[in-house]
Structure 1
Amino acid sequence: MSRSIQIAAAVTDKNLELVLKVLPAIVVIMAASWACGRLALMVKQPRVLGEMVAGVLLGPTLLGAVWADGQKFIFPPEVKPILYVLSTIGLTLFMFLVGVGFDHSGGTNGKQEARRAGLLAVSGMVPSLLLGGAVGWLTYDSLSKPGVGSVEFMLFLGGALSITAFPMLARILYERNLQNTSLGRMTLLGASFDDAAAWCFLAVISAMHANAGGAKALVTIGLSVAFVAVMLLVVRPLLKPLGERVQRTGEFGLDQMYLVLGVVIAAGFFTDYIGIYSVFGGFVAGLAMPNNPAFREAVLKRMMDVTTTLLLPIFFTFSGLNTQLNGLGGWAMIGPFLLILVAGFIGKYFGCGLALRGAGLSWRKSLAIGGLMNARGLMILIFINIGLAQGIIGQEVFSMLVLVAVVTTALALPLYRWAMPDHVEREMLIEEGVLVEQAPEPRGDQRELVGSAG
């Protein structure tokens, strides 16, 4: 009996020691994310960009370079697996919230807007996919990992560059009160198509890589299709009464939260089990949720803050711990990096801008949307983390794509503001009835005339 007690005590002490290492690491992550997020807001950038940069700075790029012992103390090897688990849970929940936020009821878009949104999605994905694939072909010998085929590498690099950060785009548009304008609706719809296609694309690449092609890959792809069908055709109708109840009563309690989280975690487990990563399960679970406004608002209100302030910064830091930007100092790596960056920028900015201009939009609106579609943000980080975890890309390509994510995301809002200055944006809001123009205050002599006339 005493031997059992000693073993139990030793296990307890070891677990407590691990907790005392994990919690300070999380405190440091949250403090750095808050500080960098505030700095990002001060320079008129989205907070999430600062959080992305914070994760990179806590890795070997800065903290590990200037204070290696301190970084090892804050993030010892035994803490990293815990951070990985927390970041995976955070990503699964975040992608679930992205899926919940999709308004797939058809909306109020006119036929012309819908056609332009479809054009935007195609022009935002195809040029980047082709240019990224071309760069992948040029750099395959120098950047690919052993055992990764050239086609697989080309498809992954093109897919990574073709993605758009739909949640960040939505946040930018809502902050500027653009969500109900034709520009905002078209951009959101096009970006949602873009991201949905990118996730499907990555699921196919992951299945091919995990099973080395052939019959096993087809089985994984078949299971993925069956999973999506079950979630949308079976689970979604079963959950519909839940949404109606929330819409009718305005109540979303703990019982409902247990049910929702159970569906999300189960979906994430299944997709991870079949080899296409848990974030896909979270995203599809979000699409399967009731699509009425009250339910969406309740779920987002309950879950978004904790996910974005606690779990996502952990993911950014875990990505940063795998990012070695100071390893790109030689020309051998600078050349491929610049090729990837230019391909990603041109594919989105000019691909979207020129296509929309050809469809009849003004140059201002076309280039403004092209700038916004260049925001890759969190979504490309999720994409490339999956590639790194599954061995499709190595550390060098991962680090390059992290830097591409930061640069292109930082350019998105300045490019929009260059094409749509404040006074032009205001005129558009007034023209579309989103903003009511106020009459100027009459001068003193005018007030006297008005009073005498009365």
Structure 2
Amino acid sequence: MSSSLQIAAAVTDKNLELVLKVLPAMILIMAASWVCGRLALMVKQPRVLGEMVAGVLLGPTLFGAVWPDGQAFVFPPEVKPILYVLSTIGLTLFMFLVGVGFDHSGSTNGKQEAKRAGLLALSGMIPSLLLGGAVGWLLYDHLSRPGVGTVEFVLFIGGALSITAFPMLARILYERNLQNTSLGRMTLLGASFDDAAAWCFLAVISAMHANAGGAAALVTIGLSVAFVAFMLLVARPLLKPLGDRVERTGKFGLDEMYLVLGVVVAAGYFTDYIGIYSVFGGFVAGLAMPKNPAFREAVIQRMMEVVNVLLLPIFFTFSGLNTQLNGLGGWAMIGPFLLILVAGFIGKYFGCGLALRGVGLSWRESLAIGGLMNARGLMILIFVNIGLAQGIINQEVFSMLVLVAVITTALAVPLYRWAMPERLEKEMLVNEGMTGDLDTEADEGRRELAASVG
């Protein structure tokens, strides 16, 4: 009996010791994220850009370089697995909320606008895929991991560069009251197509990598398709009464929250089990949720603040701990980095801009949209973290793509403002009869999502 008590006491002491190591790390993460987020707002950038930078600064690039003993104390090896688990939960919940906010019913007026949104999506993805894939092919012998095939590496680089940060884009448009203009509706719809395609693309790459090709990969891809079909064709109708009840009663209590979170966790577990990462499951679970405005607003309000303030900063820091920008200082790495950055920038900015100019938009409108679509934000960080976790890319490529994410995101708003100065923006709002108010309750849910992300 005494032996059992001693073992229990030892386990308790060990757990307490681990808690006392994790909590200081979380306090520092939240403090750094808050400070950098406020600084980003002061220079008229989205808060999330500051949080991304905070994560990089807490890694070996700054904190580890200036005070290595301090970083080793705050982020010892035994704490990093805890941060990984928390960041994975945060990403799964965040992508769930993005899926919940995915609703474009009534967002386009007429076939011409819808066609332009489709063209915008294609012009944002295909050039980036091709240019990124070409760069990946050129750099494969220098930067690929052992055991990763040429096709996987090429597709991953192209896929990462084809992403647009839909939530951040929505935040920028809502801040400027452009969400219901023809420019805003087209850009939001095109970006949503880009992101949905990118996650499906990543699911296919993950399936290929997890099973090394052949029949096993086809099984994983088939299970992924079956999962999406089940969630959208079976689970979504079953969940519809939940949304109707919340819409009718205005109540979203603990019972509803248990059910919603249960679906998210189950979806994340299944997709992780079949080898395509829990983030994808969270996103599809969000798509399957009811689209009633009251339900969407309740879910977003109850969950988004905790996800943004606590869990996402942990993800940014975990990414930062794996990011070594100091190693990019030599020409051996700076050359490949510049190739990736230029390919990503040209593919999005000029791909979107030239395509839209070709269908009749002005140069200013076309380049303004191209600048916005070039923001990659949090989405590319999720993409590359999955690639790093699954062994598709190494830490050098990961660091390069993190820096691409920061630079292209920082350029988005200045490029938009350069192409569309305030005077022209106001003229556009007047011409389209915008009053400064959101038009529908459905837009309110998306506004809350976008505002929280930014």
TM over 0.5: yes
The corresponding residue for 1:111 is 111
Q: Aligned runs of 1:147-226 on 2, under 5 Å?
A: 147-226=147-226
Q: Deviations over 1:85-140 (max 9, x none)?
A: 00000000000000000105454432111100000000000000000000011111
Contact 1:58/1:321, CA 8 A, preserved across alignment: yes
Deviation at 1:42, TM superposition (A): 0.6
In the superposition, relative to structure 1, how do residues 394 and 136 fare at CA in structure 2: closer, same or farther (>3 Å)?
same
Deviation at 1:248, TM superposition (A): 1.1
**Moved beyond 3 Å, runs of 4+:** 104-109
Distance between the aligned counterparts of 1:79 and 1:251, measured in 2?
39
Q: Aligned runs of 1:119-130 on 2, under 5 Å?
A: 119-130=119-130
The corresponding residue for 2:265 is 265
Q: Deviations over 1:46-92 (max 9, x none)?
A: 00000000000000000000000000000000000000000000000
Q: Deviations over 1:224-276 (max 9, x none)?
A: 00000110011000000011111111111111011000000000000000000
Specify the SS of the correspondent of 1:103. coil
The corresponding residue for 1:343 is 343
Q: Deviations over 1:409-437 (max 9, x none)?
A: 0000000000111111111111111137x
Q: Aligned runs of 1:368-387 on 2, under 5 Å?
A: 368-387=368-387
Q: Aligned runs of 1:313-328 on 2, under 5 Å?
A: 313-328=313-328
The corresponding residue for 2:27 is 27
Q: Does 1:363 align with 2:363?
A: yes
AA aligned to 2:234 is V
Instruction: After superposing the two structures, state which structure 1 stretch, 106-115 or 192-201, moved more.
Output: 106-115
AA aligned to 2:226 is A
Distance between the aligned counterparts of 1:377 and 1:336, measured in 2?
21
Distance between the aligned counterparts of 1:28 and 1:431, measured in 2?
48
The corresponding residue for 2:243 is 243
The corresponding residue for 1:419 is 419
Distance between the aligned counterparts of 1:426 and 1:310, measured in 2?
37
Distance between the aligned counterparts of 1:345 and 1:37, measured in 2?
24
AA aligned to 2:98 is V
Q: Does 1:303 align with 2:298?
A: no
Distance between the aligned counterparts of 1:420 and 1:250, measured in 2?
41
Contact 2:104/2:189, CA 8 A, preserved across alignment: no
Distance between the aligned counterparts of 2:114 and 2:296, measured in 1?
23
The corresponding residue for 1:90 is 90
Distance between the aligned counterparts of 1:322 and 1:110, measured in 2?
46
Q: Specify the structure having the higher radius of gyration (Cα).
A: 1
Distance between the aligned counterparts of 2:295 and 2:113, measured in 1?
27
Contact 2:357/2:366, CA 8 A, preserved across alignment: yes
Contact 2:108/2:185, CA 8 A, preserved across alignment: no
Q: Does 1:394 align with 2:394?
A: yes
Q: Deviations over 1:339-390 (max 9, x none)?
A: 0000000000000000001011111111000000010000000000000001
Q: Deviations over 1:136-179 (max 9, x none)?
A: 11111111111111111110000000001111111111111111
Deviation at 1:320, TM superposition (A): 0.1
Contact 2:210/2:217, CA 8 A, preserved across alignment: yes
Deviation at 1:300, TM superposition (A): 0.8
The corresponding residue for 2:13 is 13
Q: CA RMSD in A?
A: 0.8
Contact 1:55/1:318, CA 8 A, preserved across alignment: yes
Distance between the aligned counterparts of 1:420 and 1:106, measured in 2?
26
The corresponding residue for 1:439 is none
Contact 1:104/1:291, CA 8 A, preserved across alignment: no
The corresponding residue for 1:291 is 291
Q: Can you give the 5+ residue segments of structure 1 that lack an aligned partner in the other structure?
A: 437-454
Distance between the aligned counterparts of 1:305 and 1:110, measured in 2?
36
AA aligned to 2:235 is V
Q: Does 1:37 align with 2:37?
A: yes
Distance between the aligned counterparts of 1:31 and 1:144, measured in 2?
36
The corresponding residue for 2:69 is 69
Distance between the aligned counterparts of 1:302 and 1:109, measured in 2?
32
The corresponding residue for 1:60 is 60
Q: State how many pairs are aligned.
A: 436
Specify the SS of the correspondent of 1:77. coil
Q: Can you give the 5+ residue segments of structure 2 that lack an aligned partner in the other structure?
A: 437-454
